[in-house]
Structures are given as C-alpha cells and as structure tokens.
Amino acid sequence: MRGRFLTLEGGEGAGKSTQARRLAAALAAHGLAVLRTREPGGSPGAEALRGLIFSRPWDALAEMALHFAARREHWARTIAPALEAGIWVVCDRFYDSTLAYQVGGQGAPRAAWEGLREALLPGVAPDLTLLLDMPAEQGLARAGARGEANRYEALGPAFHARVRAAFLAEAAADPARFAVLDASAPEAAVTEAALAACRARLGAP
C-alpha cells in the first residue's frame, strides 16, 4: 500500500521543524514506517541547491526556479520512492511555501509557479497539508530568539504579513487538503491537533 504524504507549512518561527519531528515520532510510535524530510533539501542534489538558495538574494523568478529544481530532485530521489515503499513522508515545507514566499511575498507571477509545478511535479499533491498559523510578528520574534536568522527573516514584517496572507488564502481555497492549526498554542497541543487531523483525514492510527 502506498504511503501518505504530509506537509507542514507556515511562516518563520511557526514551529514547523519541531512539529514535523514530533508528528513523525508519534506516527512511528503507532507502528507506521515514517520518513521525515525538509525543503529545500532532502536529497544530495537538493541539499546542494539549498546552500545556493540561502547564499544570496535572488530575483523572485530565479529563486522560484531554484526551489523547484531542488524540489524535483527531492521528489524523484526521496519522496516518491518512500511513498511507493509504503512509508509515510512528513515534509517540512513543499510547494505551498514557494507560492507564499515567491508569489505572495516577492510578487512573482502565480502563472510561473503553476507552470513549474505542472511541468516538474505533474499530478503531485500532498495528502494532507498542516498549516501552522500565527501572526507574522509573533513568528519573527520566535525565530529571532533562536539566534539562527536566515535571509528571509530579515525581509521585514510587511513581507511576512504577505506570506501569511498567501498561505491562508491557499488553505481557504483548498480546505480538503489543508488543516489550519493555531501555532501559538503549546507544542503538545499543536501536535495533538496535527495527529487529530491525520486520524480524521487519513485514517492514521
């Protein structure tokens, strides 16, 4: 039986990496084979492109193309084989992040995002996307407290407010795929909400 593909999305500081780790551990504890991965990255070629993406500012379309190049490698080398082997994949970011950041935040045309998605990932969609939502200012404060700032965090509140709005608009447009979670809740409560969504939507144990 094919595995299930879960993605976690949200702005900076929303707790995606923490919740991906907690969710993968909880699913594995219930007897599922689980792979936890991330974007950009998740395969040798995609990790190499991750370093390039974060190395400097890019034109919005160039940055989108780099993300999709990394994503195609990640899908082909890591995610698709795992799903075919019956493994549940928990991925920290996927193509909704490119829509939110490069289209919503940086102003790249949505048609370019749609074209790259269709060309490089035809017919691909997560089985469930968990959107960890919180006000942009709160997320930036959390991210700053970690002391590991990336160049996206330096783009300012207005940029991150646009990113949040893009995520929420996409979730509203596709409620069958998205579950919106309150990322400002305690970690354990967010994890339980994520597991509840997996049980309700995917029949997880």
Q: HSE on the CB side for 147, CA within 13 Å?
A: 0
Whole-number pLDDT of residue 141: 82
Identify the CA nearest to 39 among candidates 13, 67, 61, 14: 67
8 strand-pairing partners = 92, 130
CA 143 to chain centre: 16
Identify the CA nearest to 5 among candidates 123, 159, 149: 123
Is residue 60 within 8 A of residue 156, CB to CB? The reply is no
The structure tokens listed for 167 are 């995520």
R_g (Cα) of the chain, nearest Å: 16
Is residue 201 within 8 A of residue 179, CB to CB? The reply is yes
Q: Which domain holds residue 168?
A: 5-202
CA 193 to chain centre: 17
The answer on pLDDT for 25 being more than 70 is yes
The answer on pLDDT for 150 being more than 80 is no
Strands 88-92 and 34-38, bridge-based pairing: parallel
The structure tokens listed for 192 are 């339980």
**pTM above threshold 0.85:** yes
* CATH for 98: 3.40.50.300
pLDDT band, residue 155 (cuts 50/70/90): confident
Distance CA 164, CA 42 (A): 24
Is residue 41 within 8 A of residue 97, CB to CB? The reply is no
Q: What is the pLDDT of residues 48-95, one digit of tens each?
A: 999 999 999 999 999 999 999 999 999 999 999 999 999 999 999 999
Number of domains composing the chain: 1
pLDDT band, residue 152 (cuts 50/70/90): confident
Distance CA 86, CA 204 (A): 13
The answer on pLDDT for 121 being more than 70 is yes
